Structure 1
Amino acid sequence: MTEEKKNAVIASFKPPRPSEWKSLQPEEDNEESEKRARQNQDELHNVLLSSLQMQHLVVLAGSGCSVGAGGPRMSDLWNEIVGANPEDDVREVIDNVGYDIKQENIEALLSRIEASLALNEDKALSAFLHNSKQKILNKCSGFLANEEKLEAHKTFVHRLSRRRARDQRLKIFTTNYDLCFESAAGALGIVVIDGFSFSYPRRFDPRFFDQDIVRRPRNGSESATYLEGVFLLYKLHGSVNWANKGNGNVVQEASPEPHEACLIYPAAGKYQQSFRQPHLELMAQYMASVREPNTCIIVTGFGFNDDHLSEPLMSAVNSNPHLRLIVVDPSAKERLVDGNEHWRRLGKLNEQGEDVWLISADFNQFAQLIPDLRSLSPADALVKAIRGVATAE
């Protein structure tokens, strides 16, 4: 058995109420186990199919979505900025702020530096912080040279955006700085509404989220129809191609300077920064979306470590009776046992029978599990047609 297969995640899911996880692959080499796996696959398929047809479909995507495409983990950022054997000048900065280097937490280190600079100016600390931000920018933007790495993103976007014209557009909220979702959409020829103008230079204006794309008919007697596949993208922590020019003027640039980059860098102050423009507008859109009726929220690649995003979501689960939450994480089983407070709350809600579904799978596996709305079986198509007639009446 190869090391890759040995470390592969065995996909499974946990529906509301039952305590056992249902494997999507045969656990034993016999006919009974294969039959049980097929039944579990059908059950999850039907759940996902009905979820995709809910009026509102919202995705919260974290850094785990980009790892499979070559995106950096927090440990990678630590190694890039500090390294296994720090140089003398780096060690001096770390000692200056009194950080325990054995912890290897880049977010905690940058938080210490920002807190120290807020009290006293220090050229060495300022230079280290500037260089750290530049390295983060480079790490989060330099891994997309090969489009083949985006196969999972393309499948994910392609299938989720195939929704009925009368339903609301797919909304993807992401904490990632990288351009994975934009690049995947570009490769597929899908239009992304991201809050920026369509003219150059592209400037941020939240009013663009209220606009849509239609196909104008050639014959004047026909009515316009919505363009297929369009989805809305909200980058909650900013992007590697956003530059803040001051006075609320945020534009897209290929390689913004670190001091202009409109990013919420990994540090304790990101909660406060989320309530400054343009991030404030994106947070407002997020909070409104999780409270819409008849909504399915898919959380993938997100570890529930950002309280400013986790708390509104957990509150919505408790207060929104028409909300379905699907949480996808390759370590979901382990996180329910030794994860943070939010994971423990998710486990309790799931056990109590709330509409909370837990899926143990990585982003690549989950992208393949998503039903293709254009490839429905005759039975699925009939159910969909009946539901459409009932809704119309």
Structure 2
Amino acid sequence: MTDAVQPSAYQLLGPTEVGDVGDVLEGLDDRQGRIRLQALIADWLRMENLVVLTGAGTSVSAGGKTMANLETAVLETIAAFPDLPGPIAEVITFRQLAQQMSEFLGEPIGFEAWLSFIANALVIAETPGGPFSAVSWHTPTPSVVELRWFVERLRASIFAECALSLPDAGVGAAGSSIAPQLSFLSKLVARDSNLGRTHLFTLNYDTLFEQSLELLGIQYFDGFTGRAAARFDPSVYGLDIYYPGEVAEGRVRRFDKFLHLYKLHGSIHWFEQSGEMRARHPDLAPFKDYAKLGATEKAAVLRTLSAGTPSVGILPTANKFAQTLSMPYAHLFRSLQVRLGVPQTFLLVLGYGFGDEHVSRIIENALMNPSLVMLVVEPNPNSPVIERVRRYKDLGKRAFVLCPTKPAFENAKFHHATFDDFARTVMPDVQWLDDFLRLRRFEKQIAAGVSTDVTAQVSNG
């Protein structure tokens, strides 16, 4: 008796051969659908210019939060501070009630937009000689001191929630236990070195990609130069890495494991010093168990944990008029716009819900590029992102969405077309990742053996 043919768990929504929008994988079983899907992705990855845009969804498996969950955690923590000013408590309560009553009052503005008003209110209040001296609040008006207290706690809380470490399973024994960042990055840089370099843009504050790049031995330029006190210098994005001629038999050859990294919203390891943007990676160990704490416990330890490691990465706001017009953010956003205008571009979007209108407008403008292909990976077939990308058909016929079929989603919610699934099982495999993992496991075995021998010697001594 033969096994029943399994239908494809994925649907690839995009322009079909007849010109309308439909499922490119329709009618294919799971095996045939996966073969066609991987063939299309492999073909797109061979385009000259590869641009990747990632959002909060790429960090969830490592303890990161989506924007909605981040809002809940941050506001609950700040509300638990014993020195919480009364007017700030009113602001938080008003926001929380607006979320709870959304069914009756309508959907409130997103957390990004709400944060922008809070941050910009402080800018207005602290700017001498400005055209405005105050703003009108629905709640009792906070003083400048109270507003500054609030913004500082918002930054510190977001910093702590985003101080993520790469999971220990990053070099686990089984393929399914490999941290998705490792699998994803290794496959990105496996492209033909004669093609253009990969440009990875991320909206995340965390340093999971940096940790993975260093663990894999992948070289990258992130806009900073120097080691002891790295300074932001956008000219590094115009550089590349090559093997010297004497190593490559007299020929200069490009180093294959290399990419450009852009942190569009800043990073937890950025800080400002003497009017310059600097970078130094903080010790993340004290934050390892932070996410497991309750709101009251987080409030109790937040002041100590964030001391000495303040984040100057801008708040995730939609109206970043003060920050994004200055360096380095202006250059980073301009770089995204420039890269998306290059001919023969493949734009891969992962973990991003199109909640930042600034970024989304850049993407929509880029679809005017006649040779750009965009693939959005979305784990929820009911997401409004899908309808949004459908509308992009009016801008061009090269926008695709990879998502699970509705039966597959109902059978296993948020299992298919997640960042983890895409990185581990959808993208074509590369041999050097397997070799790297075997080497890392061997190193662990040696280290464990040495530790056991030392313990035995101490016991016998």
TM-score, length of structure 1 as denominator length: 0.79
- Map 1:46-195 to 2 at 5 A: 46-83=39-76, 86-87=79-80, 89=84, 92-96=87-91, 99-104=94-99, 106-117=111-122, 118-119=124-125, 120=134, 121-144=143-166, 146=168, 148=170, 151-195=179-223
Residue of 417, 422, 425 corresponding to 1:366: 422
After superposing the two structures, state which structure 1 stretch, 103-112 or 284-293, moved more.
Answer: 103-112
| Deviation of 1:42 (Å) | 1.5
The AA in structure 2 aligned to 1:123 is V
Contact kept in structure 2, 1:13 and 1:22, CA below 8 Å: yes
Tell me, in whole angstroms, the C-alpha distance in 2 between the residues paired with 1:191 and 1:21. 38
Q: Which residue in the other structure is 1:388 paired with? A: none
Question: Over alpha carbons, which structure has the higher Rg?
Answer: 2
Q: Which residue in the other structure is 1:231 paired with? A: 259
Equivalences, count:
351
Query: Matched residue of 1:273: which SS?
Result: coil
Q: Which residue in the other structure is 1:348 paired with? A: 391
The AA in structure 2 aligned to 1:40 is G
Residue of 308, 315, 334 corresponding to 2:382: 334
Tell me, in whole angstroms, the C-alpha distance in 2 between the residues paired with 1:282 and 1:257. 28
| Deviation of 1:109 (Å) | 4.5
| Deviation of 1:291 (Å) | 0.5
Tell me, in whole angstroms, the C-alpha distance in 1 between the residues paired with 2:248 and 2:10. 51
1:295/1:138 CA distance change after superposition, 3 Å: same
Q: Which residue in the other structure is 2:15 paired with? A: 16
**Percent of aligned positions with the same letter in both sequences?**
26
Tell me, in whole angstroms, the C-alpha distance in 1 between the residues paired with 2:251 and 2:39. 34
The superposition leaves residues 115-162 of structure 1 with CA deviations (integer Å, 9 ceiling, x where unpaired) of: 443235432222122112111111101444635387111111000111
Query: Matched residue of 1:270: which SS?
Result: coil
- Map 1:26-45 to 2 at 5 A: 36-45=29-38
Contact kept in structure 2, 1:16 and 1:351, CA below 8 Å: no
Q: Which residue in the other structure is 1:28 paired with? A: none
Q: Which residue in the other structure is 1:276 paired with? A: 326
Tell me, in whole angstroms, the C-alpha distance in 1 between the residues paired with 2:184 and 2:247. 35
1:220/1:51 CA distance change after superposition, 3 Å: closer
Query: Matched residue of 1:234: which SS?
Result: strand
Contact kept in structure 2, 1:97 and 1:113, CA below 8 Å: no
The AA in structure 2 aligned to 1:42 is I
The AA in structure 2 aligned to 1:278 is P
1:309/1:106 CA distance change after superposition, 3 Å: closer
Contact kept in structure 1, 2:237 and 2:260, CA below 8 Å: yes
1:289/1:242 CA distance change after superposition, 3 Å: same
Unaligned runs of 5+ in 2: 1-7, 100-109, 126-133, 135-142, 171-176, 284-305, 404-416, 433-461
Contact kept in structure 1, 2:165 and 2:208, CA below 8 Å: no
1:40/1:194 CA distance change after superposition, 3 Å: same
Contact kept in structure 1, 2:15 and 2:22, CA below 8 Å: no
| Deviation of 1:215 (Å) | 1.6
Tell me, in whole angstroms, the C-alpha distance in 1 between the residues paired with 2:91 and 2:75. 14
Contact kept in structure 2, 1:12 and 1:359, CA below 8 Å: yes
Contact kept in structure 2, 1:11 and 1:365, CA below 8 Å: no
Tell me, in whole angstroms, the C-alpha distance in 2 between the residues paired with 1:132 and 1:345. 31
| Deviation of 1:292 (Å) | 0.4
Tell me, in whole angstroms, the C-alpha distance in 2 between the residues paired with 1:158 and 1:320. 28
Tell me, in whole angstroms, the C-alpha distance in 1 between the residues paired with 2:92 and 2:332. 33
Contact kept in structure 2, 1:14 and 1:357, CA below 8 Å: yes
1:269/1:146 CA distance change after superposition, 3 Å: farther
Tell me, in whole angstroms, the C-alpha distance in 2 between the residues paired with 1:179 and 1:56. 24
1:94/1:259 CA distance change after superposition, 3 Å: farther
Contact kept in structure 2, 1:271 and 1:308, CA below 8 Å: no
Unaligned runs of 5+ in 1: 1-8, 25-32, 376-393
Tell me, in whole angstroms, the C-alpha distance in 2 between the residues paired with 1:206 and 1:353. 31
The AA in structure 1 aligned to 2:244 is R
| Deviation of 1:249 (Å) | 3.7
The superposition leaves residues 28-62 of structure 1 with CA deviations (integer Å, 9 ceiling, x where unpaired) of: xxxxx8x6222211111111111111111110111
Matched, 1:240 2:268: yes
Tell me, in whole angstroms, the C-alpha distance in 2 between the residues paired with 1:143 and 1:354. 39
| Deviation of 1:271 (Å) | 5.2
Q: Which residue in the other structure is 2:315 paired with? A: 265
Contact kept in structure 2, 1:133 and 1:258, CA below 8 Å: no
| Deviation of 1:235 (Å) | 0.5
1:56/1:353 CA distance change after superposition, 3 Å: closer
Contact kept in structure 2, 1:214 and 1:225, CA below 8 Å: yes
The AA in structure 1 aligned to 2:372 is L
After superposing the two structures, state which structure 1 stretch, 227-236 or 240-249, moved more.
Answer: 240-249
